[in-house]
Amino acid sequence: MPDEGIPPPEPKEIDSEKWLEWKDVMDRAILRAHPLEEFGRVYRCDNCLFYLDSDAELSYCWHPNLRILVGGSWWCQWWEEIPGAE
């Protein structure tokens, strides 16, 4: 199918608003694309209380300061242990 009728994408006002919103989240978060390893323990998003689906490679983080899609091997400063897990 030819792309002749599809105009090139251009940012809209909502894109600028979303960028400012996400920039604030990025500035507050220490979000890393790799786990934190300390004292023989590995801290990852997929073993954090706020990772919605611990079996998924990508899942939603429902921590009030993030609320975004993250990778299971990622880590952030708001990592919290799942009660009863060790």
Cα–Cα distance, 41 to 30 (Å, whole number): 19
Give the tens place of pLDDT for each residue, 52-83.
999 999 999 999 988 999 999 999 999 999 99
Distances (CA, A) of 24 to 65, 73, 76: 10, 23, 15
Give the tens place of pLDDT for each residue, 24-44.
877 888 889 899 999 999 999
Strands (E) in the chain, as ranges, are 31-32, 36-38, 41-43, 58-61, 68-71, 75-76
Letter for the amino acid at 39? F
| Residue entry with tokens 């897990």 | 85
